[in-house]
Structure formats: C-alpha cells, structure tokens
Amino acid sequence: MLVAGKHLRTIGLGDDGWSVEIIDQTKLPFAFETVRLRTLEDAVRAIAAMQVRGAPLIGATAAYGVCLALRADASGDALDRACETLMATRPTAVNLGWALDEMAAAVRNLPQGARADAAYARAAAIADEDVAICRAIGGNGLSLIRAVAEEKGDNGPVNILTHCNAGWLATVDYGTALAPIYMAHDAGIPVHVWVDETRPRNQGARLTAWELAGHGVPHTVIVDSAGGHLMQRGKVDLCITGTDRTTGAGDVCNKIGTYLKALAAKDNGVPFYVALPGPTIDWTMSDGADIPIEERDPAEVSGIAGRAEDGSVARVDLMPDGSAAANYGFDITPARLITALITERGVCEASAVGLLSLYPERRG
Ligand code: MRU
C-alpha cells in the first residue's frame, strides 16, 4: 500500500540483503518508524511486543526470524530453538505455527551450509504468497460489496463495519478484511467504514483508521459498543472482520469483541463476513472452544496511550489503584453466526462442507 506516495510492504529485507525491516506498529499513528531486525531475539521481541501483529504478518515475521537465527547458527539445535522461541511469542494466531512448520520443512534436510539461503528463499515466498492470497481475497470480497452497492443504488455509500485491524498492516500487503474495501473504493464504489476502536490496544482507532485515511477511504471511528446501535438504525450494510484462527468447521477466533458484533448482526439481519487466508485455517481443530485465547497484561486495560496536546505520546491510568483488570485478547464467533467466509479461493459457507469445497485436498 502507499505511505506518503511510496509503495510499502509491512516486512522486507534491508539494503544489506539480510536484515529484516518492519514498521514499528506500536508507534502508529503518531509516528511512522521502521525498525531493523538483526537477530532471532529482535524478531521474538517484535512479535511479543506487537511491533508487528496480525496473524499473517506474525507468520511472515516468524519465518524471517528463523532466517536470522540460521544465519548465526545453522545447526539443527539452533533451528529447533528458534522455532520453539518464536512459537512461544503469541498463542492464538495459527499462522505462526504454520510458518514455522513451513520453514523447518524447507531447511531441515539440507546440509548446514545451505540452510540459511534456503530459509531466506522460503521466507520471501511466504511473504509473496501472502500478498497474492490477500489480493485474491480482495477480489472475492469485492463482488459481495458490489452486489450491495447495486442493490442500494443512489441510497448512499455501502456502510461496512470492521473490528480490530485486518488491513495491510496485519498482513504483508493489501490486508484480509480491508482488501475488498480497498478494491471497492478503487473501483469507484462508494464505501464508508465504521471502524471499531478495538480496546484495549485500539488497533481500529490507531491502525485501521490510519490505513483507511492514507488510502482516502471514508471512515468513522466508533466505540466498541456502538455497533449494535448502528445496526438497529440500519446504518450498517455488512460487517467484514479478519480472523487469527478459523477451525476446519468454520468457527472463527478473532480479536475480542468480534463475537458481540456477530450476535448483533444476526439479530438485525446484517450479513457478517469473515475474510481469511488459507494458512489461517486450523485443520486440526473443529471446535472453536479448543483455540488457545491469549491473555495479555492487565495494564493494557487499566491504562491507555495517546498523544497529549503538546505532541508527546504518553500513557495515562484509567482506573482506581487496586481495581483488578483482565485482558482476554480474542473470542470465538461460532460458525452459525457467520454469513460466509471470504478466502483466496472463493466465498463459502462457514462449515466443514463449505471449507472443504474450496480446499478439497484437506478431505480425510
Ligand atoms: O492482537 P493482534 O493485533 O495481533 O490481533 C490480530 C488482528 O489484527 C485481528 O484479530 C485481525 O482481525 C485478524 S489478523 C488479519
């Protein structure tokens, strides 16, 4: 996507050809800063501290983390250690484990001297595949938005509600949930996005709003609890969210609060779509209740960071000293609440039958 007129991806190699450059997403939207990852530890820190986040980008960063580890030590033990350490960074997004398995499979049987180069080649392919997948998701979701626009005719823009950030910042480029929105906008379809702020880390207010503004897409940030009201008033035509892990039966794990939007959508007859790349499907699971839900530092709930009037960025406390806070990162939206899944291979029912119709190689 474009940042100040320059086409950027969220991750790529630096000028030296081996270090890895990322956008430090903890600084957005108040500052645009890139960071160089030079060691496995840098990659681990970037994922754990959420300098990079979003399921597909976590996977791509982990892949490059393996490259950095093998560059320093290409032994089998080093490979195992790198995969274990990266795997422990965040538990919910399945793309992390998927990417690490892909990397291990690409290098394990090679002579040590060939492993680092092979790792860089596989990591680059994972990043390129993610871009192609997200572009295809965009095309498939575009048809859904176009159909609503045609039905609405001159009755205003297509109003789309999204939660968290599932735009290009959460992937290598284009995004998942936002890819169809960018394509609709670029195709001249009038769209307007309701952006859930997405407490506690505010990925909606900080990242989705920044992305949409950068691309010129009309949008409005709302508090997380406003979606139901807007749906009752007929101000939401459809919802599109991303997902961090979707079971083989179509249950969707996504940022905390997604389930409540799906309930409100069901009650109001608003279509609720989830956009996902194939690597976000966990074929080993059929019940969303089995997905590990990340519990993060309660300090993310008890305080908030923002820009003060003097331009400085500071964290302020929101709660009385001594009150407890709990910080569940994700929730499960059961398949029955989801109108359809938008994948790179097409749109399908949120069910095992639906997913297997698009990924027949997974049968049995
Ligand atoms: O905790 P995060 O920011 O890594 O959460 C991931 C997300 O951005 C969302 O849950 C998103 O909708 C799925 S990733 C495309």
Q: Could you read off the pLDDT of 200-239 as tens digits, one per residue?
A: 999 999 999 999 999 999 999 999 999 999 999 999 999 9
Which is it for strands 281-282 and 245-247: parallel, antiparallel or unpaired? parallel
- For residue 102, count other CB atoms closer than 10 A to its CB: 20
Mean pLDDT in residue range 42-66: 98
Tell how far the Cα of 82 is from the centroid of ligand 1, in angstroms: 23
Tell how far the Cα of 253 is from the centroid of ligand 1, in angstroms: 10
Q: What are the structure tokens assigned to 122, written together?
A: 């596989």
pLDDT for 360: 98
* Residue of the CA atom closest to atom 10 of ligand 1: 255
pLDDT for 307: 95
Tell how far the Cα of 72 is from the centroid of ligand 1, in angstroms: 31
Q: Is 242 in the pocket of ligand 1 (CB under 6 A)?
A: yes
Q: Is 170 in the pocket of ligand 1 (CB under 6 A)?
A: yes
Q: Is 282 in the pocket of ligand 1 (CB under 6 A)?
A: no
Mean pLDDT in residue range 7-21: 96
Q: Own/partner pairs for 3-12, CB < 8 Å, 24+ apart?
A: 3/32, 3/214, 4/32, 9/127, 9/131, 9/172, 9/173, 10/52, 10/57, 10/60, 10/168, 10/169, 10/171, 10/172, 10/173, 11/52, 11/57, 11/60, 11/61, 11/64, 11/127, 11/172, 12/127
Q: What would the pLDDT profile of 94-141 be if each residue is shown by its tens digit? A: 999 999 999 999 999 999 999 999 999 999 999 999 999 999 999 999
Mean pLDDT in residue range 248-264: 98
199 touches 225 (CB < 8 A): no
Q: Is 206 in the pocket of ligand 1 (CB under 6 A)?
A: no
Work out the pLDDT band at 6, boundaries 50, 70, 90.
confident
Q: Is 147 helix (H, G, I), strand (E, B) or coil?
A: helix
CA distance 81 to 77: 6
Q: Is 23 in the pocket of ligand 1 (CB under 6 A)?
A: no
Query: What's the predicted TM-score (pTM) here?
Result: 0.97
Q: Is 282 helix (H, G, I), strand (E, B) or coil?
A: strand
Question: By percentage, how much of the chain surpasses pLDDT 90?
Answer: 98
pLDDT for 5: 78
Q: What are the chain's domains?
A: 2-129 (1.20.120.420), 139-362 (3.40.50.10470)
Q: In what order do the strands lie in the sheet with 252-255?
A: 281-282, 245-247, 252-255, 330-333
Mean pLDDT in residue range 298-306: 97
Q: Is 254 in the pocket of ligand 1 (CB under 6 A)?
A: yes
Q: Is 241 in the pocket of ligand 1 (CB under 6 A)?
A: yes
Q: Is 176 in the pocket of ligand 1 (CB under 6 A)?
A: yes
Nearest by Cα to 145 from 209, 193, 191, 196: 191
- Residue in 96, 165, 197 to alter for ligand 1 test, most ligand atoms within 8 A of Cβ: 165
CA distance 250 to 37: 35
pLDDT for 11: 98
Tell how far the Cα of 324 is from the centroid of ligand 1, in angstroms: 25
Which of 42, 237, 244, 282 is catalytic? The answer is 244
**Is residue 244 flagged as an active site residue?**
yes
Mean pLDDT in residue range 322-331: 98
Q: In whole numbers, what is the pLDDT of the chain averaged over residues?
A: 97
Tell how far the Cα of 173 is from the centroid of ligand 1, in angstroms: 14
Tell how far the Cα of 108 is from the centroid of ligand 1, in angstroms: 30
Q: Is 162 in the pocket of ligand 1 (CB under 6 A)?
A: no
Q: What would the pLDDT profile of 138-188 be if each residue is shown by its tens digit? A: 999 999 999 999 999 999 999 999 999 999 999 999 999 999 999 999 999
Which residue in this structure is represented by tokens 């910042």?
A: 169
- Residue in 244, 259, 274, 301 to alter for ligand 1 test, most ligand atoms within 8 A of Cβ: 244
CA distance 102 to 113: 19
